[in-house]
Chain A
Amino acid sequence: MIDKIASSIDAALADVRDGATVLVGGFGGAGVPEELVDALIAQGARDLTIVNNNAGNGEAGIAALFKAGRVRKLICSYPRQVDSHHFQAAYRAGKVELELVPQGTLSERMRAAGAGIGAFYTPTGYGTDLAKGKETRVIDGKGQVLEYPLHGDVALVKAERGDRWGNLVYHKSARNYGPTMASAAKITIAQVYEIVDLGGLDPESIVTPGIFVTRVVKVPRKEATYRAPAGGGVTRGISGRAAA
């Protein structure tokens, strides 16, 4: 019998090694697998490359990884939120390397990794500082930038419900990067609030099929209460659509 349900959150993370590339789901606070991240800190792996849309908020979760000095490199699209101070301090001190990637390119690079695509051309970023040093090509009259897949050793995702085969469904906009990251890593660990029997998820509505999931671990449900970041959601003074 196949049973991907891990006996404990610690057992689920036991084989994360130093130097691993860890894809961490979530956009702002929505969809961040906080319990898995806390367990990763307790597990002790170091020199990690973390891939996440943001750079952690406040004191908990991804921010705590920076605070604990576990991160060597962050691959990210938007690290400038006002309460990302643990990342910002580490970055300013030269302790963390930052690879800034346009959000859609970040997601598509992981999709490419999961889908076995060797590389792809995208118009996003053409002619900007973020395309410097990259191969470019004009296709159908449009400048395009060559981008490579982004593979994870481990993906940590938050889903709402799962079953013992690893099938997952999500909750509202907490889905965000989860399905793509699940496909892009050698080991994918999903935290869920509810484990259902096989057949308990409507096959027409399963978002991440179990083939992309290595382990499922149940965590106690927390109210998904909205917590406004200290000082507002985005850095003041940015009049552009810079945030996200």
Chain B
Amino acid sequence: MSYAKLTRDEIARRIAQDIPEGSYVNLGIGMPTLVGNHLPKDREIFLHSENGILGMGPAPAPGEEDGDLINAGKEPVTLLTGGAYFHHTDSFAMMRGGHLDIAVLGAFQVSVSGDLANWHSGGDAIPAVGGAMDLAVGAKSVWVMMEHLTKSGESKIVARCAYPLTGIGVVKRIYTDLAVIDITPRGLVASRLVPGLSFDELQRLSGVPLLPAGTKAAAGVFR
């Protein structure tokens, strides 16, 4: 049976719908930024940006950009009514101090024990970390948004990360273009597989042991 992978916007919509009202959320640079476009209009959700913004709003209309109001990706944004500005040290206190409910981050790889590799592709690249390590250790829940497989078809969910680590045992959930994977004490629990994708096929593609959600083996793992 054939199946279609989710587009990036479809993954983003899935994540956005899972964010409860009242959550304080940091969306990582790159793919996770898309989540902001899909937040349900009937929920108040506070977006945090590490350069000192809470209550961050969408991109301004063309011509309305302000060089003093940018997000962590250095793109122009707006402030919602009720939003606040603050300095960097306070901003990272929010992150490191466990005040953010959810951080949605991209990744090169995630290990079966929740290790995250997303800051350095290794090799010759100039290393740059930004706020990745602070978010990884600080947010109450770290969700990863990524494609399930690399361009060459290898699973990005691995027994052990080959790329340099960002944080150890920090990831709680992975949203991919194929499924949602929860990292639990009993192992990786797969749910919400895209239509037409069998668990066995997902297991084959992933290369690390998965448990199907809703089965006895996975029971009791959802906190």
Contacts and interface: CB of A to CB of B under 8 A. Distances in A.
B133 A124 contact: yes
Interface residues of A, number: 61
B99 interface: no
B13 to A, nearest CB: 19
B4 interface: no
A174 B29 CA distance: 19
A29 interface: yes
B174 interface: no
Contacts of B75: 228, 233
Contacts of A101: 129
Given A103-B50, A176-B51, A243 B88 contact: no
A173 B85 contact: yes
A239 B133 contact: no
B135 A241 contact: yes
Question: B-side binding surface: helix, strand, loop or mixed?
Answer: loop
Interface string B69-82: 11011111001000
Interface stretch (A10-18, A63-71, A125-133, A195-203): A125-133
B79 A172 contact: yes
B119 interface: yes
A123 interface: yes
A229 B74 contact: yes
B92 A80 contact: no
Given A102-B133, A128-B133, A242-B118, A107 B127 contact: no
B88 A125 contact: no
Interface string A156-184: 00000000000000111111111110000
A31 B68 contact: yes
A180 B135 contact: no
Contacts of B66: 172, 224, 226
B128 A173 contact: no
Interface string A99-143: 011111101101100000000001111111110000000000001
B222 interface: no
B69 A240 contact: no
Nearest to A207: B87
A123 B134 CA distance: 8
Contact of B130 (A78, A91, A111, A170): A78
11 contacts: A29-B67, A78-B130, A122-B96, A128-B165, A129-B165, A172-B66, A175-B86, A233-B73, A240-B29, A241-B32, A242-B120
